[in-house]
Amino acid sequence: MVRIDGRDYDELRDVKIIRNYLKHPQGSVLIEMGNTKVICTAMIDDKVPPFLKGTNTGWITAEYSMIPGSTVHRKFRDSTRGKVEGRSQEIQRLIGRSLRGVIDLNLIGEKTIWIDCDVIQADGGTRTASITGGFVALVDAVNWLYKKGEIKQIPISNFVSAVSVGIVDNSPILDLCFDEDYRASVDMNVVMTDDNQFIEIQGTGEKSTFSKDELYKLLNLAEKGNEKLVSKQKEVLGNISKLIGKDKEGEVHG
């Protein structure tokens, strides 16, 4: 099939990750996946939810939102609605689960790391971009604790990224933009680690069923896309990448 932006079926959109995008958070990035742009921040709070008090265990939680100008028609803020919409709740829980899956929370003490993902421009794949960018922000925040001497190592076992795949016009494709997502008969979001382990698979037959063979094709595409996203994460993190998955104390990189 010929894609709307001329990409091959297995090609990611242009990916940009800018670290230290904001002044105040311990970790912050702007991630761009094509025309989708998300600001992801990581901020550390020296307390945990009530169910973790006294356990010497930390926590990671996420919030997700889309600013009013991120879509073609103005999107109402949750504060105007008086509650967080269901879609936002689902996505922020996904982000939190994905990042908690690769960190030993026992090693950060009773601290909460807040991951905030604000979509400033939406063109498909906002939740997957939030996970990919949120991970980089998390690493910078944890490295901030490491450089201060508050933790003895970076307790992150693996890189984690996420990407969308789907079937459009009977063809499996990688990294759907909004127009492709709208037309997709099958839509899937896949969260993976750098050793090709799955954290979460969200797959739906939007307009049709799909076969086991089609499922495997989509998962293979997702694996290929996530490998490229992890390579980008490693590139932007530089020497800090060497401390991820390492059980050691040593020189501070940054």
> In angstroms, what CA-CA distances link 109 with 125, 149, 195, 216?
33, 13, 27, 40
> Is 125 known as a binding-site position?
yes
Token pair for residue 50? 């009530």
> Is 166 known as a binding-site position?
no
DSSP state of 69: G
> In angstroms, what CA-CA distances link 46 with 10, 24, 56, 63, 114?
43, 16, 11, 18, 11
Whether the CB-CB separation of 85 and 78 falls below 8 Å is answered with: yes
> Is 183 known as a binding-site position?
no
Direct distance between the N- and C-terminal alpha carbons of the chain, in angstroms, rounded to an integer:
43
> Is 127 known as a binding-site position?
yes
List the binding residues for phosphate.
87, 125-127
Annotated binding site: 87, 125-127
